[in-house]
């Protein structure tokens, strides 16, 4: 998908560089560069205009996706920086962390210094996301944008892992009931949004319905002659 990819890797005490083009064809040998104690990888890619209708990146699309990735991978810090010249001098550098997250806040004097520099230099946009509580922060974020009351103050969050036949499967759930009339359920598989549902979502809905009805029977909230609660009723406001 790229007409060229430049790879720079810092490991084993040196910087290593190599370039690829035309579908992954190496453009020369692996080059051993200067010595360094740092580690990490930098990938620079140039999208192919013959494949894509547009190679102009939309900042908001990337920002929303990277924030979502940070929610889904707790403790992961993601920074998006747009170095293209902006028309506005408004300071748009920001750092966002979830409630209880360990991200460092941008210092007030730092913002002031950036505001002064913005009048002299082209402004760039930059945002950093870090959520130490992962999905719990995600649910709080989703509910904060709605004008609803919470049925219970704390977000219900849990995770489990099943290992059988040499295969491992993990699940993580965070949820909170609100006063809304409709449900708002977001499911993911390997951090990919499964907006069309799937067996993982169907299994969650069935298990939740069964669990709530069993609890209601055990606590005699539902009388013996009363019908079970429907899944739609249980998920109202979830």
Which of 54-63, 89-98, 148-157 has the weakest average pLDDT?
89-98
**pLDDT at site 88:** 57
Domain edges within the chain: 2-47, 59-130, 146-234
Side-chain-side CA neighbours of residue 150 (13 Å) = 13
pLDDT band at 108 (very low <50, low <70, confident <90, very high): very low
Q: What would the pLDDT profile of 43-87 be if each residue is shown by its tens digit?
A: 999 999 999 999 999 999 999 999 999 999 999 999 999 998 776
Which of 16-20, 110-114, 170-174, 228-232 has the weakest average pLDDT?
110-114
- Judge if pTM exceeds 0.75: yes
C-alpha to C-alpha distance for 51 and 1, rounded to whole angstroms:
7
Statement: residue 117 has pLDDT above 80: no
Indicate the average pLDDT of the chain. 87
Cβ atoms 15, 9 nearer than 8 A: yes
**pLDDT at site 124:** 83
Q: Where are the alpha helices (DSSP H) in the chain?
A: 59-72, 108-118, 135-144, 199-218, 231-234
pLDDT band at 147 (very low <50, low <70, confident <90, very high): confident
């Amino acid at each position: 998908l790229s007409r060229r990819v430049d790879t720079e890797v810092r490991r084993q005490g040196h910087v290593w560089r190599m370039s690829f083009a035309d579908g992954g064809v190496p453009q020369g040998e692996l080059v051993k560069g200067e010595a360094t104690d740092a580690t990490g990888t930098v990938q620079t890619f140039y999208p192919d205009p013959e494949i894509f209708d547009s190679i102009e990146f939309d900042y908001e699309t990337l920002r929303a996706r990277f924030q979502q990735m940070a929610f889904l991978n707790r403790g992961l810090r993601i920074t998006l920086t747009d170095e293209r010249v902006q028309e506005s001098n408004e300071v748009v550098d920001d750092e966002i962390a979830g409630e209880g997250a360990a991200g460092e806040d941008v210092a007030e004097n730092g913002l002031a210094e950036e505001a002064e520099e913005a009048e002299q230099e082209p402004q760039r946009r930059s945002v950093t996301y870090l959520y130490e509580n992962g999905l719990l922060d995600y649910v709080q974020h989703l509910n904060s944008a709605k004008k609803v009351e919470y049925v219970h103050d704390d977000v219900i969050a849990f995770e489990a892992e099943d290992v059988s036949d040499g295969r491992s499967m993990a699940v993580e759930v965070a949820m909170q009931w609100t006063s809304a009339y409709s449900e708002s359920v977001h499911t993911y598989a390997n951090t990919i949004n499964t907006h069309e549902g799937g067996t993982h979502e169907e299994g969650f809905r069935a298990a939740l319905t069964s669990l709530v009805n069993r609890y209601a029977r055990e606590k005699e909230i539902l009388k013996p002659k009363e019908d079970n609660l429907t899944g739609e009723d249980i998920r109202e406001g979830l």
